[in-house]
Amino acid sequence: MIVELAGEIVEERSREGELERVYRLLKNWLMEGELAPGQVLSEVDLARRCESSRTPVREACSRLAQDGWLTRVRHKGYIVTPVSIKDLLQLYEFRKILECFAARKAAELALPDQLDELDVVIAPERTPGADIVQVVRSSDIFHLAIAQIAGNQRVVDQLRLTLEYQHRLDCLSTARDPHWIPHGEIMAALRGRRGADAEQAMAVHIDHSRDRMIKLFAR
């Protein structure tokens, strides 16, 4: 009995481990834009690509649909959720709530070595011919690091999730247009310990990014 139960537990943990692997793999493809908006997904094809069975793929897709990455379509399965202007506007509105607060607090609390690290993080965007993939990843790190310096864990947790959706937009948009919104004004305000200016610089940065996305995705 105990041996059988132990075997069942091991099998269940193995299944959960495979589910988590497939979930993370699919989510990474979605974030990096390798699964395009509007693309219809086949469980059979995904199972082959993930080198897995259909069961963990089905369960992973269900989780991703709950998270908003996929949309369930009757009789078709799942499609990659398209980019809508409404969702885009809401994303940037939420980012401003989180990040303007974080920027003001970070300007007050950041240590000199933390500011130096932030400056290093965004160095790729100042480098001519820099790999745009690295620039995008550096931006993710920069924004999250500011929230971490601000010291509010709830803001950090919510921003981490929000930046995953932002990362997808950045990957999709830079594939069309490599133009980038730099972070220099934010960095200058942080170094100057000017909380109000850091808050304003973050708001302007997010607004410019939002406007760029609207132009690209409204076409």
| First-to-last C-alpha distance (Å) of the chain | 63
Answer left, alpha or beta for residue 73, where phi above 0 means left and psi between -120 and 50 means alpha: beta
Cα→Cα distances 200→74, 104, 170, 187, Å: 45, 9, 22, 12
Q: What confidence score (pLDDT) does residue 76 get?
A: 79
Look at residue 77 and tell me whether its pLDDT is greater than 90: no
- Is beta strand 70-73 parallel, antiparallel or unpaired with respect to 40-41? unpaired
Average pLDDT, the chain: 91
Q: Which residue has the tokens 């745009």?
A: 132
**Is it the case that residue 7 has pLDDT exceeding 80?**
no
Q: What residues have CB less than 8 Å from 65, skipping those under 6 apart? A: 71, 72, 78
For residue 38, give the amino acid letter.
Answer: G
Of residues 212, 171, 135, 161, the one with CA closest to residue 36: 171
Q: Give mean pLDDT, residues 27-32.
A: 96
pLDDT for residue 11: 45
Cβ atoms of 33 and 136 within 8 Å: the answer is: no
Mean pLDDT of 45-69: 95
In single-letter form, the type of residue at position 156 comes to V
Q: Determine the Cα–Cα distance for residues 155 and 51; give it in Å rounded to an integer.
A: 36
Q: Are 50 and 22 in contact (CB under 8 A)?
A: yes
User: Does pTM top 0.85 for this prediction?
Assistant: yes
Task: Please calculate the CA angle 35-36-37 and round it to the nearest 5 degrees.
Answer: 125
What domains are there in the chain, each with its CATH number? 2-80 (1.10.10.10), 85-217 (1.20.120.530)
Q: Is-contact 54 193, C-beta < 8 A?
A: no
